[in-house]
A = this chain, B = another copy of it.
Amino acid sequence: MTGSQINRRELLGAGVATAAALGIADTAMGEGAMLAPGVARTDLAAALAAFRGVVGAEWVAGDAASVVPWTGSYVPDPGGHHAPVGAVCPASVEEVQAILKIANQYRQPLWPVSTGKNMGYGRTTTAAPGQVVLDLKRMNRIISVDPVLCTALVEPGVTYQQLRDYLDENAIPLWIDVPTVGPIVGPVGNTLDRGVGYTPYGEHFMVQCGMEVVLANGDILKTGMGSTKNPSAWQAFKWGYGPYLDGIFTQSNFGVVTKMGLWLMPAPPVYKPLVIRHRHVEDVSRIVDAMRPLRIANIVPNVVLMMSAGYQLAMFHRRGEVWNGAGPVPDEAFGSFAAAHDLGMWNTYIALYGTPAMVAESERIIRGAFAAIDGEVMTEEQMHGNPWFHHHATLMRGGLSLEEVGLARWKGAGGGLAWFAPVAPALGSETLGQIALAKDILARHGFDYTSAFAIGSRELHHIIALLFDKSDPEEERRADACYRDLVEGFGERGWASYRTGVQAMDLVAQQYGATNRAVNAAIKQALDPNHILAPGKSGIA
0/1 string, A115-157, CB within 8 A of B gives 1: 0000000000000000000000000000000001111000000
Instruction: Say yes or no: B355 contacts A358, CB within 8 Å.
Output: no
Instruction: Say yes or no: B520 contacts A523, CB within 8 Å.
Output: no
Contacts of A525 in B (CB 8 A): 526
Report which of B298, B357, B516, B526 forms a contact with A526, defined as CB distance below 8 A. Answer: B526
Given A229-B511, A494-B231, A496-B225, A243 contacting B296 (CB threshold 8 A): no
- Is A98 interfacial (CB-CB < 8 Å)? no
Report which of B247, B251, B355, B456 forms a contact with A365, defined as CB distance below 8 A. Answer: B355
Instruction: Say yes or no: B520 contacts A236, CB within 8 Å.
Output: no
Q: Which of A240-256 contact B (CB under 8 A)?
A: 240-252, 254
Contacts of A527 in B (CB 8 A): 519, 522-523
Q: Which of A150-196 contact B (CB under 8 A)?
A: 150-151, 194
- Is A293 interfacial (CB-CB < 8 Å)? yes
Given A296-B266, A361-B358, A458-B263, A242 contacting B232 (CB threshold 8 A): no
Instruction: Say yes or no: A492 contacts B243, CB within 8 Å.
Output: no
Report which of B149, B225, B298 forms a contact with A427, defined as CB distance below 8 A. Answer: B149
Report which of B229, B268, B509 forms a contact with A491, defined as CB distance below 8 A. Answer: B229
Interface size class of A (residues with CB under 8 A): 35 or more
Binds B, one of A27-35, A77-85, A104-112, A418-426: A418-426
Q: A248 CA to B200 CA in the complex, in Å?
A: 27
Of listed A266, A297, A499, residue having the most chain B CB within 10 A = A297
Report which of B148, B209, B243 forms a contact with A523, defined as CB distance below 8 A. Answer: B243
Q: Which of A357-388 contact B (CB under 8 A)?
A: 357-358, 360-362, 365
26 of the cross-chain contacts (CB-CB < 8 Å) are A149-B425, A200-B298, A209-B458, A219-B518, A222-B516, A223-B516, A227-B513, A228-B496, A229-B496, A230-B494, A232-B425, A232-B430, A233-B424, A236-B457, A236-B458, A237-B423, A237-B458, A242-B512, A242-B538, A243-B250, A243-B252, A244-B248, A245-B247, A266-B297, A355-B361, A358-B361
